[in-house]
Structure 1
Amino acid sequence: MPVSRIALGMREEATHPDALRAALAEFISTVIFVFAGQGSGMAFDKLTNGGASSPSGLVAASIAHAFALFVAVSVGANISGGHVNPAVTFGAFIGGNITLLRGILYWIAQLLGSVVACLLLKFVTGMPTSAFALSSDVSVWNAFVLEIVMTFGLVYTVYATAIDPKKGDLGIIAPLAIGLIVGANILVGGAFDGASMNPAVSFGPALVSWDWTNHWVYWAGPLIGGGLAGLVYELFFINRSHEQLPTTTDY
């Protein structure tokens, strides 16, 4: 069972050079992703005088996030695994692929990376960063379930292309698939709740703009979806009966 593989980690791990390098890689990858993703929406809004929420703005956001995540995962893959998302880290933890201590380091790095990216965007553009928000006809429970479903698909894709030991040498396929599923989900959920799928991506704009309206949805939904994906994939698709128990994500 995946739950039996959950590990807290050793105290020394919090200060181990490899863990700190991995956290730094997560920080940089998250800055890259949020700066490009959030910045694309701000740029489109400026060029179209408020058209970021239009159909063309949604397509632009989808493409920008897909490309940016492809790059962010690629540059971090060999160092930290390229999570760039607390929900991915949580899913990996639930599946026993990363320790709690290293996961906490990742979360801190991801949240800081998002905040720094939003502060940089606010400084260089002179524009405010907008927090994720629900459309007027969407309830918090609609958005909550939507975030669960979208994040489940994202983390399931991460497991299938990056964590599964049977994956073989997929090269750029893993980061490409991860970027594409996020881009596709934005086309689905962007008009309803912004399609976060990533608590860090929601946290940075919310903190910088100090707008916490319905912010819990963008934490609870992705974490539940990511955790469920980790459980389902580990339970039904990965056979570790003859493998040594891992302590960190290796992808």
Structure 2
Amino acid sequence: MTDKRRVLVRAVAGEFLVTFLFLFVVMSVGVNFRRANPTEADATLGGISTGFTAVALIYSFADVSGAHFNPAVTMGTIVTGKVSVKKGLWFIGIQLSASIMATLWLQVVFPPHRGFNASEIAVVDFGDKVVIGRAFAMEATLTFILVYVIFATAFETVDTNNKVLVKPVADGAQKSATVNPNGAGREVTQDASVGKNLTIYTTSANSKSGFAPLAIGLTLGFLCFLGGSVSGGAFNPARVFGPAIVTGNWNNHWVYWIG
């Protein structure tokens, strides 16, 4: 096996595991709460558990697969060229497979309750008296917020100040010197007649990705507080795919893919 293929296999396997774990935890929280309180839903519990789970898993798998666990995110990386089409399609296929496995595993660990099995409880659908147009708009909005935050933190860079000390040159009124703080070269001019060290500030493109898991996790958490009563608040096609496959309930399923 070539190194390139080995890296791809590792990434695909990692994406399967991170998607399975994320969806299993998210769906388990909902199922567990519904078993205890069959007539209520708790967005706060869902938001907190989703956010914490996302932070932990992104930190754990970011260097393995990128920890997408969402076909919408993977499609964004394909369109922007950050992931090859081949790798992206592998990721989407494995995410959907992980969704099915996570849903089936729910049925293994949670016994039927009051005539419903765990996979049926995990199905996502619209709220009461919600028309398709409103649900579509809500899903599109939530997905846009999530994908924007991911791209803004995990893939973008920010200019930050770097303090650079330049010593005076030995001769000449003015000499130029090239400084290279943190790999960012800047041409600066220093007046030797001053006879003192000169402090300047330069900028370099330092990655924001170190904060990405926290930002993405918090975003996933607060998005759970939004839209649940309208579209069900999935903002992840993989979240709805597994339960739809296992239960055969495809009601309004296309909205979660197109939105």
TM-score (norm 1): 0.77
Q: Is 1:188 equivalent to 2:226 in the alignment?
A: yes
Matched residue, 2:235: 197
TM-score (norm 2): 0.75
Aligned with 2:107 (options 122, 131, 137): 122
Rg larger for: 2
Q: Is 1:155 equivalent to 2:144 in the alignment?
A: no
Q: Is 1:173 equivalent to 2:211 in the alignment?
A: yes
What is the CA–CA distance in structure 1 between the aligned matches of 2:72 and 2:241, rounded to whole Å?
13
Counterpart of 1:16 in 2: which secondary structure? Answer: helix
Aligned with 1:112 (options 74, 79, 97): 97
Aligned with 2:49 (options 49, 64, 76): 64
What is the CA–CA distance in structure 1 between the aligned matches of 2:22 and 2:207, rounded to whole Å?
25
Q: Which digits, 9 at most, give the CA deviation of each residue in 1:52-89, with x for residues without a partner?
A: x2xxx111111111112222222220011111110001
Q: Is 1:79 equivalent to 2:64 in the alignment?
A: yes
Q: Which digits, 9 at most, give the CA deviation of each residue in 1:34-55, with x for residues without a partner?
A: 111000000001112332x2xx
What is the CA–CA distance in structure 2 between the aligned matches of 1:114 and 1:172, rounded to whole Å?
28
What is the CA–CA distance in structure 2 between the aligned matches of 1:59 and 1:172, rounded to whole Å?
27
What is the CA–CA distance in structure 2 between the aligned matches of 1:212 and 1:172, rounded to whole Å?
38
Counterpart of 1:192 in 2: which secondary structure? Answer: coil
Give yes or no for contact 2:155–2:209 (8 Å, CA) kept in 1.
no
Aligned with 2:24 (options 24, 35, 60): 35
Matched residue, 1:246: none
Task: Note the 1:235-250 alignment, pairs <5 A.
Answer: none
Give yes or no for contact 2:78–2:85 (8 Å, CA) kept in 1.
yes
Deviation at 1:171, TM superposition (A): 6.0
Paired letter, 1:143: A
Q: Is 1:101 equivalent to 2:93 in the alignment?
A: no
Aligned with 1:146 (options 138, 145, 154): 138
Higher RCO (CA 8 Å, separation ≥ 6 residues): 1
Paired letter, 2:148: Y
Q: Is 1:47 equivalent to 2:39 in the alignment?
A: no
| Count of aligned pairs | 205
What is the CA–CA distance in structure 2 between the aligned matches of 1:33 and 1:49, rounded to whole Å?
23
Q: Percent identity?
A: 34
Structure with the larger helix share? 1
Matched residue, 1:247: none
Paired letter, 1:216: W
Change in 2 beyond 3 A, CA 1:155/1:49: same
Aligned with 2:253 (options 196, 215, 236): 215
Matched residue, 1:26: 15
Paired letter, 2:257: W
